[in-house]
Amino acid sequence: MRHFPSTAPELRQLALQVLLQTDPEEKCRLALAIADDVTLNGQAELNEPDGIPGRPVRPELVPPGQVGRRAMHTVEGRAVLIHALAHIELNAINLAADILWRFAGLPEQFYRDWLRVMKEEAYHFQLLSDHLQQQGYHYGDFTAHNSLWEMAAKTRQDLIARLALVPRTLEARGLDVTPGVAVKLAQAGDARAAEILGIIYRDEIGHVAIGNRWYLHFCTEQGLDPVALYPRLALQYKAPRLRGPFNLEARRTAGFSDKELQLMQQADQP
């Protein structure tokens, strides 16, 4: 990939500090403390240190099928769900921090965009963690899985694949399911959780849009067909199969083309 003349070593070093931090609350504090107008300069490649990503001792990471049941009709069941959502948001902080520090020599706006994403993910985690505590639980009380970060690890040397398979695939799935989960939480009497999911849903449309915009940007720069490339990347990196129903309105708002959406729906047919 051809590099661009502007990079952001200060921001990238700060993002790496966020990524390496093991305490979730301190990770959020560090992310939110980074100024929006932090200086961007230099083109230095950063060496990858040990300890990526920094994560707390708990929760215990298990295969997805072994994560606790998320029953809506009990306080604990809803807490398991909120915990799972908090874990997704903590992973999302790490994902944004990783894409910020790992890939050097990119346009300035690329770094500005992912700084915004990292800070909003930190805010989301704080909202969910605080709500979990109000229910009598803490982040780490339940098991969690590592699927989001596993895909980040697979694509650590391929920026286009990272953009295609993390924000445009794994995170975009939240656009499909979050509104329905919010409705169920509200029906179960947890209006605050439903309100938090509304905030997350609004922001995640923007995050997926950022992923889409930069995926298209780099595909165009390299003369690649973004629609034709996607299934090849999904196969190469063993991405999960896209399953409907799809939130077509949200996905369009987030930058998916009608052609892509049509292909998604066709692939989802039995």
The one-character DSSP state at 34 is S
Q: Is the pLDDT score of 3 beyond 70?
A: no
* pLDDT tens-digit readout, 28-55: 999 999 999 888 754 667 789 999 999 9
Identify the bridge partners of residue 144 per DSSP, sorted by sequence position. Answer: 61
* pLDDT tens-digit readout, 92-146: 999 999 999 999 999 999 999 999 999 999 999 999 999 999 999 999 999 999 9
Separation CA 178–CA 172 (nearest Å): 10
Q: Which domains does the chain have, with CATH numbers?
A: 1-43+56-145 (1.20.120), 157-270 (no CATH)
Separation CA 225–CA 106 (nearest Å): 20
The one-character DSSP state at 144 is B
**Model confidence, pTM:** 0.93
Task: Name 125's Cβ contacts closer than 8 Å, sequence gap at least 6.
Answer: 24, 28, 86, 89, 90, 92, 93
- Distances in Å between the Cα of 248 and the Cα atoms of 164, 202, 208 are 18, 15, 13
